[in-house]
């Protein structure tokens, strides 16, 4: 007899999610004997006997290849120290900038308090190494930067970008989502940028609801109606 | 992380159109929520929320010797702590300048308005008077802690009841409250802090807006226009024209503010 | 030694009756995790910030993350106002709280980092350290800190010869007969003790009974904590 798939449920640390020899623990869970036990507060999900817990809170875990947004904190001889809202420090070395850098004029390229979109090229115990060499990376010129919990980022992006593309289309804005939870919004009008901010906060707060894409479509319709009514 | 300069630019641009990120007008306050009697061991207490900013204020009464230069008057001591639990920006340890300033701003407005009738707090001239101790704690900082603290202090004072005092044994019987309230005058000091961002002045900044604010002026005054206290904070200069605008906005806001909190001050 | 129903507690509770408990998470928006927990009139709030870089640097532990607890009572939380600032009692309770929570935290993978837990007591009617630990455990889970389990804390008392649970102030000050013995205990739902203190007068046999009672009672606390975490997410 095929057992029913385990339903998604909220689990707390120490809670037994399921009992059974053939289940395997994924992220946020561990195996003790024949029990899969929660190690992080979140939503337990099963896929093919792999039980993982989707965290809804907690700090960002940096991974190689992640696109992130950060702020220049300090300038040294060899590059820029970047704050990516993560306890491990991040660093952008001179060599990872796609133009010639005069060693005495680093601040001409990037100055303290500048915001950048960068890619993580390495995570070691010394810290996180960044690059801005590829397309789409570099200094952020204007717009607004907002912050959400990094665990909500997958929902804001959606399956194959479905959610973020919907938001971009409905608002006519450029949106770059950093895996660390910082998001850059740039549009032609501030009103549009704020609409994106509102939409992202909406999605972020409802990360665990299903059918969210449809809800968001309806939400945009409502918001646009509200704005039209206001201006009449 | 502090608000980025980029976002700050947008905040200023938007303000030039008279708009703020959360849809408020420059002279509008966020939703205010007030709860009284939130700590039963205090003689008076209040929880105030302005938007997501939250403070709790407690009033304790003690009997002590009066100050030598005012032997027939009660005392007022205001302290404040910016609790590390209320923001990643606050550290454990003795109060630093922002906490000290907040306490002094609230103290000044209350003291100069003569809101508390100190002569009526005398028990035995030269020997025993009531001391009113107001303690202010931040619970969540999303900007404008000062104004929230101001309301909290007012409401806690208004709702406080004096404990019984056993004169013979010189002991305050905490837990045995009388029906007597702290003697208060009709001059209610309302504290409003006005911030200047670019060329625009606003009330009740969020934390984001506070990060971008260049100069602020905290004014304690009554609804009839009388001003009891002023303090300018932060390092930018302001023109005379700006000060006039700020005074006008403060007066307008005080009146509106008072309507919001009136029912708690009965 | 019995918890027979004939004993009259000052507030009318049965010997094994805990005061009405309330727990809620997410009460401080700025924090990574936060919670409030109350036993009747005793109210504690806790906030977690971290894991984050540990300052000062010399306190960093290169082998694992550090838990740092700070317990403090608001000045007006008690009848006689407490002068603001740390005192010996709050310093000790801060450390006790750390020891009560550490065994269940899995912070080995956060070297050189610190998890800061701030606990404040808003209103006190005894059992404040227990309320604080319960709030802290919730805040840590809410913050997404990896944990083996929650911990649940309760005070067990002996009033003269009678065992009671969840002491209030009047019972702490009990003077009849053998007086009051106060035993705060913290346990995991699996019965592991992470914190135990005692002051008063008790025999070993009585203490064993206390621990058995604590095992039962902490499970009741656990259910309240569990509900707070589960109720906070609507799927």
- Report how far residue B125's alpha carbon sits from residue A134's, in angstroms, rounded to the nearest whole number: 80
The secondary structure of B215-253 as a DSSP string is EEEEEEE-TTS-EEEEEEESS----HHHHHHHHHHHHHH
Q: List CB contacts (< 8 A) between B19 and chain A.
A: 190
Q: Where are the beta strands (DSSP E) in A48-186?
A: 50-55, 67-75, 79-83, 90-93, 115-123, 128-131, 138-139, 144-147, 174-177, 182-186
B44-68: burial string, b at 16+ Cβ within 10 Å, e else: bbbbbbbbbbbbbbbbbbbbeebee
Q: List CB contacts (< 8 A) between A146 and chain B.
A: 7
Contact A12 C226 (CB under 8 A): yes
Q: What CATH number does the domain located at A9-55 have?
A: 2.40.50.100
What distance in Å separates residue B102's CA from the closest CA in chain C?
A: 15
What stretch(es) of chain A map to CATH 2.40.50.140?
67-139
Low-confidence spans in chain A with pLDDT less than 70? 1-5, 207, 232
Instruction: Tell which A residues from 118 to 147 touch B, by Cβ distance under 8 Å.
Output: 140, 142-147
Question: Which residues are CB-neighbours of B266 under 8 A, at least 6 positions away?
Answer: B158
A216 touches A203 (CB < 8 A): yes
What stretch(es) of chain A map to CATH 2.40.50.100?
9-55
Give first-to-last CA distance, chain B, whole Å. Answer: 42
CA quadruple C69, C75, C81, C84: dihedral, nearest 10: 70
| Domain C21-228 homologous superfamily, CATH | GHMP Kinase, N-terminal domain (3.30.230.70)
CB pairs under 8 A between B and C: 83
- Report how far residue B10's alpha carbon sits from residue A225's, in angstroms, rounded to the nearest whole number: 24
Return the pLDDT at A2.
Answer: 46
State the pairing for strand pair B53-64/A174-177: unpaired
Contact A85 B21 (CB under 8 A): no
Quick: pLDDT tens for C168-208.
999 999 888 889 999 999 999 999 999 999 999 999 999 99
Let me know if A6 is exposed, middle or buried by CB neighbors in 10 A (0-12, 13-18, 19+).
middle
Put simply, whether B36 touches C (Cβ < 8 Å) is no
Cα-Cα-Cα-Cα dihedral sign, residues C69, C75, C78, C83: positive
Contact C144 A41 (CB under 8 A): yes
Q: List CB contacts (< 8 A) between C188 and chain A.
A: 14
CB pairs under 8 A between A and C: 76
What are the structural domains of chain B? Answer: 5-265 (3.30.230.70)
Let me know if C60 is exposed, middle or buried by CB neighbors in 10 A (0-12, 13-18, 19+).
middle
Quick: pLDDT tens for B54-93.
999 999 999 999 999 999 999 999 999 999 999 999 999 9
Q: Which of A9, A14, A43 sits opposite C150 (nearest CB)?
A: A14
Nearest CA in chain C to A149: C32
What distance in Å separates residue B259's CA from the closest CA in chain C?
A: 28
Q: Which of C143, C188, C230 sits opposite A58 (nearest CB)?
A: C143
Contact A89 C53 (CB under 8 A): yes
Nearest CA in chain C to A88: C53
Q: What CATH number does the domain located at A67-139 have?
A: 2.40.50.140
What distance in Å separates residue C48's CA from the closest CA in chain B?
A: 7
Contact C104 A58 (CB under 8 A): no
C51 touches C140 (CB < 8 A): no
Q: Which of B1, B7, B17 sits opposite A144 (nearest CB)?
A: B7
Q: List CB contacts (< 8 A) between B142 and chain A.
A: none
Contact B4 A147 (CB under 8 A): no
Q: Which of A83, A140, A190 sits opposite B10 (nearest CB)?
A: A190
- Peptide bond before residue C51 is cis, with ω within 30 degrees of 0: yes
Residue A223: count other Cβ atoms within 10 Å of its Cβ. 16
- Report how far residue A55's alpha carbon sits from residue A153's, in angstroms, rounded to the nearest whole number: 11
Report DSSP state, residue B52: T
What stretch(es) of chain A map to CATH 3.30.1370.10?
144-231
Mutant choice from A8, A11, A14 vs C, greatest count of C C-beta within 10 A: A14
What distance in Å separates residue B89's CA from the closest CA in chain A?
A: 13
Cα distances (Å, whole numbers) of residue C51 to B13, C101, C132, C144: 36, 15, 20, 10
Q: List CB contacts (< 8 A) between A152 and chain C.
A: none
Q: Which of A8, A14, A41 sits opposite C142 (nearest CB)?
A: A41
What distance in Å separates residue B141's CA from the closest CA in chain A?
A: 17
- Report how far residue C71's alpha carbon sits from residue C77's, in angstroms, rounded to the nearest whole number: 13
Return the pLDDT at C2.
Answer: 52
> Is the interface score ipTM higher than 0.90?
yes
- Name the fold adopted by A144-231: Ribosomal Protein S8; Chain: A, domain 1 (3.30.1370)
Return the pLDDT at C41.
Answer: 96
What distance in Å separates residue C229's CA from the closest CA in chain A?
A: 7
Put simply, whether A26 touches C (Cβ < 8 Å) is no
Contact C41 B140 (CB under 8 A): no
- Report how far residue A139's alpha carbon sits from residue A118's, in angstroms, rounded to the nearest whole number: 9
Across chain C, mean pLDDT equals 94
Q: Which of B60, B87, B137 sits opposite C81 (nearest CB)?
A: B60
Q: List CB contacts (< 8 A) between B140 and chain C.
A: 28-30
Q: List CB contacts (< 8 A) between B7 and chain A.
A: 144-146
pTM assigned to the model: 0.94
- Report how far residue A41's alpha carbon sits from residue A29's, in angstroms, rounded to the nearest whole number: 10
Q: List CB contacts (< 8 A) between B139 and chain C.
A: 28, 45
Cα distances (Å, whole numbers) of residue B167 to B17, B128, C228: 63, 10, 48
Low-confidence spans in chain B with pLDDT less than 50? none
Return the pLDDT at A232.
Answer: 65
Q: Which of A71, A115, A194 sits opposite B21 (nearest CB)?
A: A194
Contact A197 B21 (CB under 8 A): yes
Contact A56 C188 (CB under 8 A): no
Residue C71 has pLDDT above 80, yes or no: yes
């Amino acid at each position: 007899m095929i057992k029913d798939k385990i339903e998604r449920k909220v689990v707390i640390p120490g809670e037994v999610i399921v009992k059974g020899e053939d289940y395997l623990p994924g992220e946020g869970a561990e195996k003790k004997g024949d029990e899969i036990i929660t190690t992080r507060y979140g939503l337990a999900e099963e896929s093919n006997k792999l039980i993982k817990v989707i965290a809804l809170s907690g700090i960002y875990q940096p991974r190689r290849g992640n696109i992130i947004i950060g702020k220049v904190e300090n300038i040294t001889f060899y590059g820029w120290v970047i704050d990516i809202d993560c306890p491990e420090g991040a660093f952008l070395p001179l060599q990872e900038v796609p133009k010639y850098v005069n060693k005495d004029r680093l601040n001409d390229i990037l100055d303290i308090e500048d915001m950048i979109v960068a890619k993580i090229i390495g995570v070691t115990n010394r810290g996180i190494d960044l690059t801005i060499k590829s397309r789409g990376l570099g200094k952020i010129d204007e717009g607004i930067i907002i912050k959400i919990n990094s665990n909500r980022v997958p929902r804001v992006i959606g399956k194959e970008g479905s959610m973020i593309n919907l938001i971009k289309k409905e608002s006519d804005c450029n949106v770059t989502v950093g895996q660390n939870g910082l998001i850059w919004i740039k549009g032609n009008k501030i009103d549009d940028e704020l609409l994106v901010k509102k939409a992202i906060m909406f999605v972020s707060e409802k990360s665990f609801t299903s059918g969210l894409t449809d809800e968001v479509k309806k939400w945009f319709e409502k918001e646009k109606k509200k704005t039209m009514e206001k201006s009449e | 992380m502090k608000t980025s300069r980029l976002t700050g630019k947008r905040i200023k641009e938007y303000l030039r159109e008279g708009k703020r990120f959360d849809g408020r007008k420059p002279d509008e306050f966020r939703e205010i929520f007030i709860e009284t009697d939130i700590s039963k061991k205090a003689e008076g207490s209040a929880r105030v929320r302005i938007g997501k900013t939250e403070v709790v204020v407690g009033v304790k009464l003690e009997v002590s010797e009066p100050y030598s230069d005012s032997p027939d008057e009660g005392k007022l001591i205001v302290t404040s702590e910016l609790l590390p639990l209320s923001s990643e920006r606050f550290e454990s340890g003795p109060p630093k300048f922002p906490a000290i300033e907040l306490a002094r701003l609230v103290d000044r407005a209350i003291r100069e308005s003569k809101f508390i009738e100190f002569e009526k707090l005398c028990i035995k001239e030269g020997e025993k008077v009531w001391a009113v101790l107001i303690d202010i704690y931040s619970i969540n900082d999303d900007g404008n802690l000062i104004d929230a603290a101001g309301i909290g202090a007012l409401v806690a004072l208004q709702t406080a009841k004096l404990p019984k005092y056993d004169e013979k044994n010189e002991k305050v019987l905490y837990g045995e409250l009388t029906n007597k309230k702290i003697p208060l005058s009709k001059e209610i000091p309302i504290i409003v802090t006005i911030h200047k961002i670019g060329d625009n002045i606003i009330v009740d900044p969020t934390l984001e807006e506070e990060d971008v604010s260049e100069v602020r002026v905290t004014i304690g005054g009554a609804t009839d226009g009388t001003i009891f206290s002023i303090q300018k904070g932060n390092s930018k200069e302001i023109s005379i024209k700006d000060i006039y605008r700020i005074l006008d906005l403060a007066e307008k806001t005080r009146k509106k503010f008072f309507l919001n909190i009136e029912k708690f001050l009965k | 030694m019995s918890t027979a129903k004939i004993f009259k507690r000052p507030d009318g509770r049965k010997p094994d009756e805990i005061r009405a408990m309330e727990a809620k998470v997410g009460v401080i928006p700025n924090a990574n995790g936060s919670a409030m927990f109350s036993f009747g009139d005793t109210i504690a709030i806790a906030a977690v910030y971290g894991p984050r870089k540990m300052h000062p640097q010399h306190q960093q532990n290169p082998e694992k993350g550090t838990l740092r607890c700070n317990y403090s009572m608001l000045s007006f939380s008690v009848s006689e106002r407490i002068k603001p600032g740390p005192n010996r009692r709050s310093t000790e309770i801060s450390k006790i709280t750390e020891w009560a929570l550490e065994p269940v935290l899995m912070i080995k993978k956060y070297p050189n980092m610190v998890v800061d837990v701030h606990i404040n007591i808003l209103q006190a009617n005894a059992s404040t350290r227990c309320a604080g630990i319960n709030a802290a455990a919730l805040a840590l889970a809410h913050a997404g800190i990896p944990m083996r389990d929650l911990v649940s804390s309760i005070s067990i008392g002996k009033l003269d010869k009678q065992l009671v649970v969840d002491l209030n102030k009047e019972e702490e000050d009990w003077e009849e007969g053998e007086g009051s013995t106060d035993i705060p205990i913290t346990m995991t739902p699996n019965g592991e003790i992470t914190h135990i203190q005692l002051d008063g007068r008790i025999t070993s046999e009585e203490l064993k009974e206390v621990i058995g009672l604590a095992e039962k009672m902490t499970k009741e606390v656990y259910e309240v904590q569990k509900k707070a975490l589960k109720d906070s997410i609507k799927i």
